[in-house]
Structures are given as C-alpha cells and as structure tokens.
Amino acid sequence: MPSLADEARYALDNLADRTAELFHPTLRIGVTGLSRAGKTVFITALVHNLLHGGRLPLLNAQAEGRIGRTYLEEQPDDAVPRFQYEEHVRTILEDRQWPQSTRAISELRLTIEFQSASGWSRLFSAGRISLDIVDYPGEWLLDLPLLDKDFAAFSQESLERASLPQRSAIASPFLEMMRQIDLAAPADEVTSQRLSASFADYLRRCREDDAALSTLAPGRFLMPGDLEGSPALTFAPLPVTPGAEYPKNSFAAVHARRYEAYKTVVVKPFFREHFARLDRQILLVDAMQAINAGPDAVRDLETALTDILTCFRPGRASWLGGLLTRRVDRLLVAATKADHLHRESHRRMEAIVRRLVNSAVQRAQFSGAQTEVIAMAAVRATREASVEDHGERLPVIVGTPLMGERIAGKLFDGETETAIFPGDLPKDPAALLAAGDEALASMAPLTFVRFKPPRLEKDESGLTLSLPHIRLDRALQFLIGDRLA
C-alpha cells in the first residue's frame, strides 16, 4: 500500500522509537472500534483497574503480587491530544453517565513497575514498562483501503453500496442530486458543497440505530474535525468511467483531485504517524447493535471488520527487521457489552464475532501474529439473576436502563432498576447472516438496551473497589502479560 519513499520514512520513525525504548521500555497499544463500541470506556476501565489494584485474577503479574507501582506519565507525542482519563472516570463514577465517544485520536502513557517472574531477572533490577495507549476512531481505519483505490474505483464501490436494498432509501436524496450532475461540465463550488454534504448526511444516517450499518468510508466525513469545509473533504463519488479523461475543471476532474488530496492530507499522515507505529492492537466490536438491526446490518459489519483487519500489519518481525518495521504481533478482537447478556450467551457471542472476522484473523495468524477473540465488558453495568416465569426459571440481567430506553413500549426513566431477559443468541452464527428474515423469524426475540454505569461496591472493610468488569483481566493478560513476565 505505501510507496518506497513512505516505507523509508516509516523505517526512520521506527528506528527513532526503538532507540528511545533502549532507555525507556515501551509498548504501543492501539485501541479502536466502530462508533459506540466502547473505546473510551475500555481505556478508562483499563487505567482505573491498574492504578487502583483492581480485581484482575487472570492478569498473572497482578495475581502473583508482582506489580509494584502504576502511575500516569506525560505522553511522548506533543502534537497528539491527551486522553482525558480523569474527566472520563469522573463521568462514570460521579455522574453515572457514559463518557463521550471518541471523536479524534488521543494518547495516554501508563507506566508499570513490576518484579519479573524470573529470579535471574530480579537479580539485576526491577522491571518497568510504559504502555502508550493510542485511542483512535475505527472509522479512520476504513479509509486505509482507499490508498489502493483511484477515484473511479472508490466511486464505483460507493455507488454500488448506496444502491443496496438496505441503503437505497437512505441514499436516495444524495443519488438524486448526483444524477443531475454533468460530469464534464465546469465544476461549481456551491454545487460541490451541496453534493458533498448530502453524501456525508447519507453516511451519518446509515450509522444510526435503525440501520446500524458499518462500512462508511470516507471516515472523516463522519468526524471532520478541523478539516470541515476544506476542499479535501468537499467531494463525493461520481459515476465516472474508469480510464476516461475529463476536462481539467470539470466536476469529474475536480472531485477526483480532491479525493486524491484526501488520501494525501488525511489518510497517509494517520498511517505514518500513528497506525504504522503500533505494537499491539485491540479491536472492539459492538455486535449487538448490528444484531438488533437485522441480518443486513450484521453482513455489513462483517464487511467493515474484514476491511479494518486487512489494514493491520500483523506478524512477528525479526530482531533486525523490528528496528525498522513495526508489526502488530498480538491482535485482540473483543465483543463488547457482554454484560448486556447472561453469561450463558457469552460463548455464542464470541462464536458470532469469530465468524465475522474469521478470514482476516486466519491471515494474521498465518503472518505469525497471536490472535484472540473474547466477549468482554470493560465496565460491568448489570448483575445476573434468575426469575420464574410460568414455572420456568429464566436467566436475567439486572440493571438500570438509560433514560429513554424502551422495552415492549415501556419507557425507562433512567432511575428504575429492572430485570431483563435478553433472549438467546443462535447456536449457529450463520443464522445471523442468512439471506432474508426467515432464519430470524424462528429465533426468540432479543432484548438489548443500554444501561447506566454501576455504583462502585465496597469491601468488608469499607474500601471502595475498582470498576467491575467481565474479562478485562483476560484481555490485559493477552495484550501485556508477556511483557510483565
């Protein structure tokens, strides 16, 4: 995907990083996921549990008492916003609200001092490693495949997708406006802005709950930031003919130039400055939002996850190669919000997500990377119970639904705790990908709502405990356990 010149620049960047790590051992962990997958909550819970000695029995170094001191340090990249951990944890603990979703890239450095499990290593010095946690929107990853596509290929793919049954109604205002464009006519800036805005509106509407679609490139159209209104974000796909030449100032030529500018100004800098420098990666997946929206949304999520995972550089680099080229040697795919299901369904959720990412994960394993798929809740907002219904014991979850959530017409006030039977996920993940609704019609209905964060519990001595979770410790052991050995 990158050119030889790009690769040379990546090598120089990585060589500088590796030199610095001789004096300050560092592990760069990328945290990403599509909208509302729980990236901010995951990082906040990870840091809170490590800072406060949380309940992490599957993190060996913690369980064995080898972690001494954990503290936040100044991050190494001055041009990257700091992840606002303190603000996010206050929102969860004091306001009992979920923090705002990731809108741009941010970073946080957490340093861990520990004792090695090896007696030989303990003879020399105590261990220390800094975790540079890089939080970035998964929508930005969907842009990386654009580096391999010209404007004609991007347009053809985007317009074919907009014409799919699950998208055509949402896309109709944009498609109608696009059909009125004369590709060879001189470009008009006002028309280009209106067309681009209509295309961006179509992408945003695809992301809403009732559609829950995931394949939504270009990602910065959803999160423009300081580039909003710039020419690099003022274009839209057009039905251009591959290989055809259009007048220099025509709509076709101008939008093609701006598409190439988007790749140069937005996509390549992200790849070089952040993505190509990662050592390990966790991809968070909110599969339940797609399941709620139906099989079309699930299939679209599969496409998006495959595109995202294809972008990673998995594998284990040699000692010499590792100085110049970074590889993601551990890749964790986590199905989030496991607390919205009873534990009896967790394995089924893992199986569904494993099915969605199977081909991409196999490629990563073939390249030498270790991979894992788990069902997880970074912050557990519910507890489990059982209720009797017509003589049958049903496993339920108990929590406080967010204000405005509904179940069977009942509107929740955000204060009332309730028991919910979420239903059973199918044993066969293929049922969620079946064409049409016949397979879903035979399934028991599923009930997924969003819950408020929990109140923190206290132990017998009155000490406030850390944020509760489901399998956060298993995720940490996979991501950093070997570096704490």
Q: Where are the domains of the chain?
A: 4-136+274-380+470-484, 144-263, 383-441
> What digits encode the pLDDT tens for the residues 97-121?
999 887 788 999 999 999 987 765 5
Question: Does residue 140 sit in helix, strand or coil?
Answer: helix
**Which residues does 306 contact at the CB level (< 8 Å), separation at least 6?**
357, 359, 360
Strand residues in 59-196 grouped as ranges (E): 67-73, 106-114, 127-135
Number of neighbouring beta carbons within 10 Å of residue 440? 17
The CA distances from residue 117 to 13, 63, 75, 370, 385, in Å, are 32, 12, 28, 22, 39
Residue ranges of the chain with pLDDT lower than 50? 317-324
Instruction: Give the pLDDT of residue 460.
Output: 66
Q: Which residue has the tokens 């519990």?
A: 457
CATH match for 4-136+274-380+470-484 among 3.90.1150.10, 3.60.20.10, 3.40.50.300, 3.40.47.10: 3.40.50.300
Phi then psi for residue 317, to 5 deg, are: -80, 150
Four-CA torsion 356, 385, 467, 50, nearest 10 degrees? -60
What local confidence, expressed as pLDDT, does residue 5 receive?
60
DSSP 3-state assignment of 284?
strand
How far apart are the C-alpha atoms of 7 and 1, rounded to whole Å?
10
What's the confidence (pLDDT) of residue 290? 85
Cα distance between residue 162 and residue 437, in whole Å: 21
Q: Where are the beta strands (DSSP E) in 10-124?
A: 26-33, 67-73, 106-114
Token reading at 281: 């990666």
Q: How far apart are CA 285 and CA 360, in angstroms?
A: 14
pLDDT at 9: 60
Axis-axis angle for helices 85-93, 39-51 (nearest 10): 90
* Alpha-carbon span 95 to 380, nearest angstrom: 16
Residues 6+ apart with CB under 8 A from 459: 465
**What pLDDT is attached to residue 223?**
85
pLDDT recorded at residue 319: 39
- The angle at the Cα of 349, spanning 345 to 352, to the nearest 5 degrees, equals 140
